[in-house]
Structure 1
Amino acid sequence: MSNNDTDPIVAIATAPGRGGIGVIRLSFGRAGEAAAKHAMLALCGQRLDARHASYVPFIDARGEAIDRGIALYFPAPHSYTGEHVLELQGHGGPIVLQLLLQRAVETGREFGVRLAEPGEFTRRAFLNDKLDLAQAEAVADLIEASTEAAARSAGRSLDGAFSREIHALVEDVITLRMLVEATLDFPEEEIDFLEAADARGKLTRIRALLDKVLADARQGALLREGLSVVLAGQPNVGKSSLLNALAGAELAIVTPIAGTTRDKVTQTIQIEGVPLHVIDTAGLRETQDEVERIGIERTWGEIGRADVVLHLVDARETLSADDAAISARFPTGVPIVRVLNKADLAGVEASADVAGDGVREVRLSAKTGDGIALLRSELLKIAGWQAGAESIYLARERHLIALRAASEHLAIAADHADQNSQALDLFAEELRLAQDQLNSITGEFSSDDLLGVIFSRFCIGK
């Protein structure tokens, strides 16, 4: 822990702008109780009882009231940061809060009080073992949650649900490592370790548990990030109508004139709590219109970044040469759903199946809404969403990377286990590497650079 991590810090803890309540938060770091008591007298004119709300004036250097509100004092270690913390809850006017902030800096100058950096209060909580790293990230995820399901899952992560799963995995790996290391320390004892200690069985159970955690984490990451869904196809096939149908609102202009959409229109919708970032794009065709040409270039750019592409075609026509040419340009590895729109005009019923070329097809009518539910279901399948299986925690991409890496190390360990005692040292090393990956999720093993990146993305005052 560096000196910067123990400096006394202060910040406005509420969002910018006007509001009913505004909060100034101070955490006194190494300055400790003496600085906290000095600040109470300077800012509130009196000593405060621990964890007791006191209605007091917030006073300036001349002893005049800047504002009146609630003051709270949390002595270490029973505070959010684990340090002595003082919170002033007054009116949420920007000028009032700035005056209070300036006054707090002035009163704490002799103790080295400085303005907090983004996420620094939560970083202190992590460094002082009030939260592990996964829980600390859940604080930001809860603030940024875009759906009710994401908010609930972030709350579970903050309560430690995800961390408990990781700690259970780590404990199992440590137990297995202890058995392996003991055998390596006493090679003269002629015991077939892999058979006597049931190492293969233990490893199999660990891998099964890791697979479950990884599947749940994928669900959690999906809730946090959502899917980027791009609507692509020739002009006038109903892309804008489909966007409106999925969103349940008239967001995009719909006319029978081909080429109406010149630039992308983006809307985030929810399906079973999963955020889908649906992007309506310019129709794909050869054109001499410079504005439309730029729009088409942007369309291909969005397709290149998509998680899912909905290729719209007219249900009244067979797949034309132009449609086939568009399909051939889609990036490999990106799920494609061919949407046969205008089923009502074609006189066919809404349906979902697999075409002869292996592409999933959904027949629907964006105009009447028939088949929209089938398309939503298809998108959930692509997302890997399991009906009725609510994710118990939120996860980030770095968590998925660490879990996949741990899984790979355990798979290699299993290969070494098949070689019996001849590869026990390699078996032990892969277990150690898997443990390191799991520990990086909760922060037992994390570089300062990683911490800097994570907490720099928090809001100031949190």
Structure 2
Amino acid sequence: MTRKLPIIAVATAPGKAGVGVVRISGQNLGPLTSALFQKKLAPRQANLLTLCNKHGEAIDQLIAIYFVGPASFTGEDVLELQCHGGPQLLELVMKRCLELGKEDGLVIAEPGEFTLRAYLNNKIDLTQAEAIADLIDAQSEAAVRGAARSLQGVFSDDINHLIEEITQLRILVESTLDFPEEEIEFLENAQARQRLIAVKEKLQTLRAGAKQGKILRDGIQLVLAGAPNVGKSSLLNRLAGEEVAIVTPIAGTTRDRVKESITIDGVPMHIIDTAGLRETTDVVEAKGIERSWDAIRLADLVIFLTDVQSDDQQDDLKTQILKELPPKCAVLEVLNKADLLLEPLKTAPGEVLLISAKTGVGIEQLKQQILKLVGWAGSQEGAILARRRHLDCIERAAEHIEKSEKFAANGNNSLELFAEELSLAQRHLGEITGKLLPDDLLGKIFSQFCIGK
């Protein structure tokens, strides 16, 4: 699963900085620390030391902290060198460490290998490991808080408590299989069905929370689509609060996708302003329109924008967009340029939302409708971050609980199937924390981490 050799990497981001951190992890790093600084380091104490090259010339004056395993992040010995943050300087520090660690097999770490070792050494579970990456990548304050809660083990505790309840129920059901003449009465006395209903309700709550957490973690792919010159770029600028897209009265100004990330009530939104959808002989514009359709096919929500001067051909364009939408993607119809109306409308026809990207009329209502359509419940308190993988596991577990409920209602002839469905639900939940995860998937998860983490 992972190499036993000691590993080293720069743990801070590339580029110039006041401080750069080099991290080493492995079994028994004591001899290496002594070779680097010609002294034995006391564990868990900050030491101001000078690191020299093989000629005795100073490379850097740095702070070294030595953690003796298992009392460390990875569970192994860890040496952390807090250097000055020049890229070339850090390269020299790495080179010197690799020289002195050559006999011990010191090698450069692979992406996520420090965190992987922490997981394999039972310092953290898989959801906590993923929370570390999510904390680094968090796109909003709410996402930071959610990742921090997952790192503290809140999500893991919820999963483990649910697994324990399913385990106890499974033990109860399986223990009755040897006594078929008494099993129904025994299960009724033990309130097996009531306990199953409680598990089902907790799983539903967990699934709802995971959906909210996935929104916080990944954000929403929001695509602005419509014919040329209906105000898509103006709407992007209004939502972003700055001029990120060029706006002119000339149809077809936007010839490629323009992307901007914002937050609406703490929810990350990745807004894509697309080229106006129309037939064209212009090669460049046609390429932009092709990319617009690609964006629509990957969207979480499409805002189909028209304006008060739009012609009847918009219905055909809307029909075409609906055919290209991915599963579960919603379309929000928005009527723009309300400022051009001689007599302002209180509401637009049907379910269409009336706005003016120019003046800001209706923009707040638009934001709230966006949040509603993407499934945001509006509460960030107690939120945890969740990934698509987590949500898939929870949904599969919920399916097996649904099946187990049907088998429980069938009586004697279905109790073995009842127990089996409970076992499958338990297995899928165990995949979330990594207890029952295939090695190839585990490697894929950690390969997405940054170097040095």
TM-score (norm 1): 0.94
CA distance in 2, matches of 1:10, 1:351: 64
Helix, strand or coil at the partner of 2:44 = coil
Match of 2:253? 260
Match of 2:424? 433
Q: Does 1:170 align with 2:168?
A: no
- State the Cα distance separating 1:290 from its structure 2 match: 2.2
Match of 1:63? 56
Q: Deviations over 1:272-319 (max 9, x none)?
A: 1111111111112222222222222221221111111111111245xx
CA distance in 1, matches of 2:147, 2:43: 30
Match of 1:335 among 330, 355, 380: 330
- State the Cα distance separating 1:5 from its structure 2 match: 3.2
CA distance in 2, matches of 1:300, 1:391: 37
CA distance in 2, matches of 1:62, 1:288: 69
Q: Does 1:409 align with 2:400?
A: yes
Assess if the C-alpha contact under 8 Å between 1:194 and 1:417 holds in 2: no
Match of 2:9? 11
Select between 186-195 and 41-50 the one with higher mean Cα deviation: 186-195
Helix, strand or coil at the partner of 1:369 = coil
**Aligned AA for 1:345?**
L
Assess if the C-alpha contact under 8 Å between 2:356 and 2:363 holds in 1: yes
CA distance in 2, matches of 1:55, 1:409: 58
- State the Cα distance separating 1:347 from its structure 2 match: 4.2
Structure 1 residues 347 and 391, CA gap change in structure 2 (3 angstroms): farther
Identical residues among aligned pairs (%): 51
Query: Which residues of structure 1 form unaligned runs of 5+?
Result: none
**Aligned AA for 2:440?**
D
Match of 2:185? 192
CA distance in 1, matches of 2:126, 2:348: 44
CA distance in 2, matches of 1:230, 1:223: 18
Match of 1:231? 224
Q: Does 1:24 align with 2:22?
A: yes
CA distance in 2, matches of 1:334, 1:13: 39
Match of 2:444 among 453, 457, 460: 453
Q: Does 1:96 align with 2:89?
A: yes
Q: Deviations over 1:120-167 (max 9, x none)?
A: 000000000011000000111111111111111111111111111101
TM-score (norm 2): 0.95
Q: Does 1:154 align with 2:154?
A: no
- State the Cα distance separating 1:386 from its structure 2 match: 1.7
Helix, strand or coil at the partner of 2:13 = coil
Q: Deviations over 1:397-454 (max 9, x none)?
A: 0001000000001000011011012211000000000001000000111111011101
Match of 1:182? 175
Q: Aligned runs of 1:269-288 on 2, under 5 Å?
A: 269-288=262-281
Structure 1 residues 354 and 74, CA gap change in structure 2 (3 angstroms): farther
Q: Aligned runs of 1:87-126 on 2, under 5 Å?
A: 87-126=80-119
CA distance in 1, matches of 2:334, 2:383: 33
Structure 1 residues 139 and 148, CA gap change in structure 2 (3 angstroms): same
Assess if the C-alpha contact under 8 Å between 1:351 and 1:362 holds in 2: no
CA distance in 1, matches of 2:178, 2:66: 53
CA distance in 2, matches of 1:334, 1:443: 30
Structure 1 residues 60 and 371, CA gap change in structure 2 (3 angstroms): same
**Aligned AA for 2:340?**
L
Match of 1:142? 135
CA distance in 2, matches of 1:393, 1:426: 33
Assess if the C-alpha contact under 8 Å between 1:350 and 1:371 holds in 2: no
Match of 1:381? 372
Helix, strand or coil at the partner of 2:270 = strand
Assess if the C-alpha contact under 8 Å between 2:338 and 2:355 holds in 1: yes
- State the Cα distance separating 1:42 from its structure 2 match: 1.1
Q: Deviations over 1:5-31 (max 9, x none)?
A: 322111111111111111111111xxx
**Aligned AA for 1:221?**
K
CA distance in 2, matches of 1:422, 1:102: 68
Helix, strand or coil at the partner of 2:3 = helix
- State the Cα distance separating 1:260 from its structure 2 match: 1.3
CA distance in 1, matches of 2:343, 2:65: 67
Assess if the C-alpha contact under 8 Å between 2:207 and 2:394 holds in 1: yes
Aligned residues: 449
Structure 1 residues 99 and 227, CA gap change in structure 2 (3 angstroms): same
Q: Does 1:323 align with 2:299?
A: no
Match of 2:47? 54
Q: Does 1:204 align with 2:202?
A: no
Structure 1 residues 352 and 416, CA gap change in structure 2 (3 angstroms): farther
Q: Deviations over 1:37-85 (max 9, x none)?
A: 1111111221111111111111222333211111101111110000111
Q: Does 1:398 align with 2:389?
A: yes
**Aligned AA for 1:246?**
L
Structure 1 residues 185 and 62, CA gap change in structure 2 (3 angstroms): farther
- State the Cα distance separating 1:374 from its structure 2 match: 0.6
Select between 275-284 and 346-355 the one with higher mean Cα deviation: 346-355
**Aligned AA for 2:282?**
D
CA distance in 1, matches of 2:346, 2:267: 23
**Aligned AA for 1:411?**
E
CA distance in 2, matches of 1:14, 1:392: 28
- State the Cα distance separating 1:353 from its structure 2 match: 7.5
Match of 2:240 among 247, 257, 267: 247
CA distance in 2, matches of 1:438, 1:322: 50
CA distance in 2, matches of 1:294, 1:424: 59
**Aligned AA for 1:138?**
A
**Aligned AA for 2:8?**
V
**Aligned AA for 1:15?**
A
Q: CA RMSD in A?
A: 1.6
CA distance in 1, matches of 2:346, 2:44: 61
CA distance in 2, matches of 1:350, 1:120: 60
Helix, strand or coil at the partner of 1:187 = coil
Match of 1:344? 339
